[in-house]
A and B are shown apart, each in its own frame.
Chain A
Amino acid sequence: MGLLSDPYRRRALSRLILRLNTPLCILSYLAGLGWFLGLASPPFTLRSYMSENAMGSTMVEEQFVFGERALSYAREFAGHKKKVGGIPVAWLEKTMWNLGLEVYKQPFSRTLPFPDEMRERYMVKGTNVYGILRAPRAASTESLVLSVPCSTGQPNSQAVGLMLALASCFRGQIYWAKDIIFLVNEHDLIGMEAWLEAYHDVNVTEVLSSGMQGRAGAIQAAVSLELSSDVITSFDVAVEGLNGQLPNLDLVNLFYAFCQKNGLLCTIQGKLQRTDWDTLPAYVHSLQTLLLMVLKQGSGRPQGDHGLFLRYHIEAITVRGINSFRQYKYDMGTVGKTLEGIFRKLNNLLERLHQSYFFFLLPSLARFVSIGVYMPACGFLILILVLKALDLWMKLSKCDAGPEEQLCDGDRGAGHAAAEESRPGLLTLVPPLLICHATGLTLYFLPVLGQHVATQHFPVSESEAVVLTVIAIYVAGLALPHNTHRVLTGCGSERGWMSLKLLSLLYLAMLLGCIALINFSLGFLLAITMVPVAAIVQPRGPKYLYAVLLVLVTPAVTLLLSIVLYQELIEYPISALECWQLFLQAVSEGLLDHYLYGSIVFPFIALFVYPCWLLLWNVLFWK
């Protein structure tokens, strides 16, 4: 309170902010960047530990011996799949029924907003098949899910085989307290979304599906399994879900614990953990893992079928069996034992997984960074915007109050020069705001609405039309009338651009703050690029340099750079042309994710970040 009301201390503080503004901003940026880079090193990371009591002390004894049976199921399934040319519904139903499961199927259909060229689908029709193993000792109020995606393109028959073998193994055990649902979902995420919506009897996207006949209570946890070979060398776990949501850390810990117990190698982001921690190569390694996680989380895409469970409060991970050129291979028996152990432990849960962290970053499977530790990195970056805004506000209010109110005095020259000009009022800020947001709305609605018109007039396919329209509108936004204020007041003033910049800085700070809470990675990626340029941009000085910088930090270029960085990190460098193709693909995927699953990244960028960036563009070209 003293700081806020005591004029002497206030004066000192405001002088500090005005005089040291630039150094403070630079310092803050470096602190944010440094903090983020430091996240991969030991003082910031904690060793992960199991918080959930029910899963902690007792290790279970696995009895899975059906490794061979799994492979024979897999071969049989692959044969039937080839024969039917899709998911062999009848065979699956019959096999599951013979295993003693309650079997149901769920047909669904979905017409995509525009054709998905990468997966070659437009009007999707499919069927999910699932069997419920009723727990002998409980009243079907809780359940666990083991899901296996089955699409025409992806070979995943070993996973189906293993799932069936696990079902027959689980059937013989007596201690199940939760029902177990074995689900084979067609058309990966679309099928998953259809199944989840039908299971919870909601309709949040436009999937058409028949009602669900069999249910098994509230789903407590889910594991999605992907296997494509008879033996595996390692397991890879994917945690990032829709909109960057993550499962409870305990589930990841559980997976890691069982992999260790069975001596399986396990990786995250395809990177094996190093045993040493304090060397430089180890640090670089974990930083790479961390960066990969940030890039994947920032994209807001579900990195596996588990990603859609998270929206329904169901903790879920995707487990992928990898078969690489390593020496030591594991057979289906070991893999089955690991999964059995995970399910046995989940069966012991007394309440939903809630003890451990929901917000974390993983530099390796054994270590994690919690929200309290990584958030300051974003906080420092947003602080720059606040400092700059305070600086602008003090300059603006000084011209208002004139010379007699000298509570905060900095460089007088600028203040006086501005005070002489007339007060344009807040009215000049309205047209740029409206125009920028209208552009944002166009960017959001037009590509999908206008795809048919575009295909009629240009020789492109629908999906190309959508992507190219997005890019065209995005670029066209730069050429909009940026000097509407001159119509209103005759000429722009110093105050005009300062207030516009103040507004856009605050707007940007607010957007970044909100998104960083929901999806830290997206917030951080946008902040690290946009903030410094947003802070320095002004209509005076080296205008073209500013323009180039501003274009370099626009969200689209950030996406392009993220793709390059991602390819570098997975050690798969690409040429410029491939990069451009990946960029186009990413744009269309982003739109599809939004329309199919309700990802918020595209609307967030189109409706808020891009207009905010256009406001900064307006500041630059203020005359």
Chain B
Amino acid sequence: MAAPLVLGIVVAVTVRAVLYRSSLAGFISERVEVASPLNAWKRVVEGLALLDLGVSPYSGDVFHETPLIIYLFHFLIEYSELVFMITDVLTAVALYLAVQDFNKVVFKKQKLLMELDRYASDVAELIRTPMEMHYIPLKVALFYLLNPYTVMSCVAKSTCAINNTVIAFFILATIKGSTLLSAIFLALATYQSLYPLTLFAPALLYLLQREFIPVKLKSKGFWLYTTQYAALYLCSLVVIVCLSFFLLNSWDFIPSVYGFILSVPDLTPNIGLFWYFFAEMFEHFSLFFVCVFQINVFFYTIPLAVKLKEHPIFFLFVQLAIISIFKSYPTVGDVALYMAFLPLWSHLYRFLRNIFILSCVLIVCSLLFPVLWHLWIYAGSANSNFYYAITLTFNVGQILLISDYFYAFLRREYYLTHGLYLTRKDGTEAMLVLK
């Protein structure tokens, strides 16, 4: 199994190396879909230059990376291309190992439930076999490595790739059941881009499940474990933040990074939903609407946690997708991370309803982004409405894709317990309807 992975890695690295040397690299790194104000490489270079001059990189309004990133590249600036290729490969390997482990867990759980006779009698075709699960880790890794979104993100040297690596390691640590590492990586991810904060819930649910602690609000073990995990998480977060403080000897980075993420002052067009809306709005409403927009990322966590209590990894996937849709400066690199998980749910394929239309919509939108950008910015003949229309379609496509997967997952679970061939009371074939 390792050989195909290595082959995939070699291909992926070759593609990236070739693109770095080609004239496309400059073009890609200028694309607003790939590089946001938060993670554009140009801004990292600017921050480094300021740091070298002895000026705080956060003076001015250009640099919005965290202090750890700037110190990482302070030493590695010469090898930046290599760093980005390695982070991509690390992400893929982490996802590979995580999914491999998760598959074992799924298989064990399925076996247990079958022995306990929890499944209906006629669901044999829904039961997953080791044969079909064998290639899933490889597919996940390749889906991440060879996804054009990831490739572009890497070629543009968007630091989004590093955030993805941290999140992938967090997922790996969680699935392996290491509470400490999971908390540390979660803290790092939060420190990097704030929104992974919401991944706390799925990670906790998974770890609880792994420790066989029932999720009951009255049980003592549940609260004990939760407190422990939360304390670990908060402690590591405090340590990382303090470390950043000592690195630069100022708290400037807090408003410059987190304030920048939350209050959305930079309205450069991107693939997200924020820019157009806030560019059009009167200034004195903007605080209220920033709150409304930002709450989207955090809001869905609670209902999802209730509904997907038993399936924390699926919850994690949905939450990642929600982050990448509703975050304030999304890039295609974020989209690539959750898309890497799609092969993991390939058993839901038969329950998906709109996958064809939705994948067409997403591909068409990805192609129309540069076309409409050209018409708006270079040709000057179209305007921002054209571009925003595509942004909107792209996001609606993503939302429908996620809800399609969500619904398919629920449907499969329902079929597993109630039998595949449902009959109504009058004996005719029944059908599940989402209301």
User: A residues within 8 A CB of B379?
Assistant: 245, 310-311, 358, 518
Query: In the complex, A514 Cα to B373 Cα: how many Å?
Result: 12
Q: Are A518 and B374 in contact (CB under 8 A)?
A: yes
**Residue from B350, B354, B357, B368 in contact with A513 in the complex, judged by beta carbons closer than 8 Å:** B368
Query: In the complex, A517 Cα to B357 Cα: how many Å?
Result: 21
Given A5-B353, A245-B381, also A514-B431 (CB < 8 A): no
Query: In the complex, A431 Cα to B434 Cα: how many Å?
Result: 42
Q: Per-position contact with B for A371-409: 1 when CB-CB < 8 Å, else 0?
A: 000000000000000000110010001000100010100
Q: Are A518 and B363 in contact (CB under 8 A)?
A: no
Query: In the complex, A358 Cα to B374 Cα: how many Å?
Result: 14
Query: In the complex, A118 Cα to B103 Cα: how many Å?
Result: 69
Q: Are B368 and A517 in contact (CB under 8 A)?
A: yes
Taking the closest CB of chain A, its distance from the CB of B355, in whole angstroms, is: 9
User: A residues within 8 A CB of B356?
Assistant: 390, 393, 397
Given A5-B434, A6-B434, A358-B381, also A513-B364 (CB < 8 A): yes
Taking the closest CB of chain A, its distance from the CB of B354, in whole angstroms, is: 6
Residue picked from A8, A310, A513, A517, most chain B C-beta under 10 Å = A517
Residues from 1 to 39 in A contacting B, C-beta threshold 8 Å: 4-8, 10
Given A6-B434, A510-B367, also A359-B354 (CB < 8 A): no
Q: Are A359 and B363 in contact (CB under 8 A)?
A: no
Query: In the complex, A518 Cα to B372 Cα: how many Å?
Result: 8
Residues from 361 to 382 in B contacting A, C-beta threshold 8 Å: 363-364, 367-368, 371-372, 374-375, 378-382
**Residue from A6, A313, A405, A518 in contact with B375 in the complex, judged by beta carbons closer than 8 Å:** A518
Taking the closest CB of chain B, its distance from the CB of A246, in whole angstroms, is: 7
Given A10-B353, A358-B382, also A510-B375 (CB < 8 A): no
Given A5-B434, A7-B433, A359-B381, also A514-B350 (CB < 8 A): no
Query: In the complex, A4 Cα to B363 Cα: how many Å?
Result: 19
Say yes or no for A547: interface residue by CB 8 A criterion: no
Say yes or no for B400: interface residue by CB 8 A criterion: yes
User: B residues within 8 A CB of A10?
Assistant: 353
Say yes or no for A506: interface residue by CB 8 A criterion: yes
Q: Are A6 and B433 in contact (CB under 8 A)?
A: yes
User: B residues within 8 A CB of A514?
Assistant: 367-368, 371
Given A510-B364, A514-B367, also A7-B375 (CB < 8 A): no
Taking the closest CB of chain B, its distance from the CB of A385, in whole angstroms, is: 11
User: A residues within 8 A CB of B378?
Assistant: 311
Query: In the complex, A518 Cα to B350 Cα: how many Å?
Result: 38
Residues from 508 to 540 in A contacting B, C-beta threshold 8 Å: 510, 513-514, 517-518
Taking the closest CB of chain B, its distance from the CB of A356, in whole angstroms, is: 11
Q: Per-position contact with B for A394-438: 1 when CB-CB < 8 Å, else 0?
A: 000100010001010000000000000000000000000000000
Query: In the complex, A4 Cα to B358 Cα: how many Å?
Result: 11
Q: Per-position contact with B for A496-516: 1 when CB-CB < 8 Å, else 0?
A: 000000000010001001100
User: A residues within 8 A CB of B372?
Assistant: 517
**Residue from A8, A246, A506, A518 in contact with B360 in the complex, judged by beta carbons closer than 8 Å:** A506
**Residue from B354, B368, B374 in contact with A4 in the complex, judged by beta carbons closer than 8 Å:** B354
Q: Are A401 and B350 in contact (CB under 8 A)?
A: yes
**Residue from B353, B380, B400 in contact with A313 in the complex, judged by beta carbons closer than 8 Å:** B380
Taking the closest CB of chain B, its distance from the CB of A2, in whole angstroms, is: 9
Q: Per-position contact with A for B278-300: 1 when CB-CB < 8 Å, else 0?
A: 00000000000000000000000
> Can you offer 14 A-B residue contacts whose CB atoms are under 8 A?
A5-B433, A7-B431, A8-B433, A358-B379, A359-B382, A389-B360, A390-B357, A510-B367, A514-B367, A517-B368, A517-B372, A517-B382, A518-B374, A518-B379
Given contacts A358-B382, A513-B364, 20 further A-B contacts (CB under 8 A): A4-B353, A4-B400, A5-B407, A6-B433, A6-B434, A7-B432, A8-B431, A8-B433, A10-B353, A311-B378, A313-B380, A354-B380, A390-B356, A393-B356, A407-B353, A510-B363, A517-B368, A517-B372, A518-B371, A518-B375
